């Protein structure tokens, strides 16, 4: 997929915007938190034949061990083009961390509950664009399948196309041990923030500090611990390892876009994407689209927010055009 070359095609970040936080109750004792960045409502318009259409909003889903605040650099840009909401997945951020529910069925239901509770899917003809990062791309793909035509597009940000169990050859427990934080990073909040800042000092700002702080809890002795409870993290990783990308993505009716950061296994990535594309072609679905950002790290929201926002807005703009022509 070719993006417009001019960086000013994407709105400048709205530095004054401050999201409101809300809770949606799934069942008694299980609540999900989301940030509502506002923006123009999914208001009615008209296609060339005079049929009413509604512009889709955006629902942003963070990755493992992250929170809704990770999307701030993107949300500040796209909110002027569509209503923008970012959720905290169960077990993450300010959402509750029940001991169960880390499954395809429940987490896709969680996403739909936030979409409806936030007003993104207030009317029967409302649609939304789902955007997921890493683990969040898996959850977004599951939700897109349940939403069917109400999902105007799925954007997978550096994740969502891998069969992690097959690719890694690890068990969920082994994978978890590989991603544990070094003890020295957790000695204090200052050490933790310095570690996050040093990933890419040029992009470190108040939004990045907020995003980092939201992922840990400061203990009375001064150390920090991950905010995601061990059972929630284990359940989330089990869900990741159960994911079959070909099955999840083959029959989605809307456009599917993969936004890719650099990798040390381009052949493996190409094979995975080709398998998904072949499955979609067999079902007469639109080809899988892809945007390569080869110089970026995994956190594309932080490292390349302009290019990622371009990709999101391009899909949203394209869905509006397709909806109009199909109505005609």
Q: What percent of the chain has pLDDT over 90?
A: 83
Domain coverage including residue 65: 7-173+240-327
Give a yes or no: residue 96 inside a domain.
Answer: yes
User: Could you tell me the CATH number of the domain that includes residue 164?
Assistant: 3.40.50.1820
The number of distinct structural domains making up the chain is 1
d(CA 77, CA 213): 22
The residue ranges of DSSP E strands in the chain, in sequence order, are 20-27, 30-38, 44-46, 52-54, 57-61, 84-87, 128-133, 151-157, 216-218, 224-226, 256-261, 289-293
Give a yes or no: residue 131 inside a domain.
Answer: yes
Give a yes or no: residue 183 inside a domain.
Answer: no
- 296 pLDDT band, cuts 50/70/90, is confident
pLDDT, position 264: 80
Give a yes or no: residue 292 inside a domain.
Answer: yes
Average pLDDT of the residues in 94-107? 97
Give a yes or no: residue 234 inside a domain.
Answer: no
The burial class, CB within 10 Å (0-12 / 13-18 / 19+), for 141 is: buried
pLDDT, position 263: 84
Give a yes or no: residue 159 inside a domain.
Answer: yes
């Amino acid at each position: 997929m070719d993006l417009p070359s001019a960086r000013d095609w994407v709105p400048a970040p709205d530095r004054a915007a401050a999201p409101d936080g809300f809770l949606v109750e799934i069942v008694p004792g299980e609540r999900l938190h989301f940030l509502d960045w506002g923006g123009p409502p999914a208001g009615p318009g008209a296609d060339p034949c005079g049929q009413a259409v509604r512009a889709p909003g955006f629902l942003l889903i963070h990755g493992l061990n992250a929170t809704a605040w990770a999307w701030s650099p993107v949300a500040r840009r796209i909110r002027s083009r569509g209503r923008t909401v970012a959720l905290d997945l169960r077990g993450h951020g300010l959402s509750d961390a029940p001991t169960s529910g880390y499954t395809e069925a429940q987490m896709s239901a969680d996403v739909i509950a936030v979409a409806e509770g936030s007003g993104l899917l207030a009317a029967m003809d409302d649609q939304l664009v789902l955007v997921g990062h890493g683990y969040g791309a898996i959850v977004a793909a599951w939700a897109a399948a349940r939403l069917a035509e109400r999902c105007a597009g799925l954007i997978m940000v550096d994740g969502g196309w891998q069969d992690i169990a097959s690719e890694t050859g690890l068990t969920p427990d082994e994978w978890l041990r590989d991603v544990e934080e070094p003890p020295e990073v957790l000695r204090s909040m200052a050490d933790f923030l310095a570690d996050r800042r040093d990933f890419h000092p040029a992009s470190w700002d108040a939004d990045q500090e907020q995003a980092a702080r939201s992922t840990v809890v400061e203990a009375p002795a001064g150390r920090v611990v991950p905010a995601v409870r061990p059972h929630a993290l284990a359940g989330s990783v089990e869900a990741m390892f159960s994911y079959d990308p070909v099955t999840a993505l083959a029959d989605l009716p809307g456009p599917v876009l993969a936004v890719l950061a650099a990798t040390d296994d381009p052949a493996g990535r190409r094979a995975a994407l080709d398998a998904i594309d072949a499955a979609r072609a067999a079902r007469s679905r639109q080809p899988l689209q892809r945007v390569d950002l080869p110089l970026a790290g995994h956190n594309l929201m932080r490292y390349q927010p302009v290019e990622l926002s371009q990709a999101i807005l391009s899909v949203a703009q394209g869905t509006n055009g397709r909806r109009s022509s199909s109505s005609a």
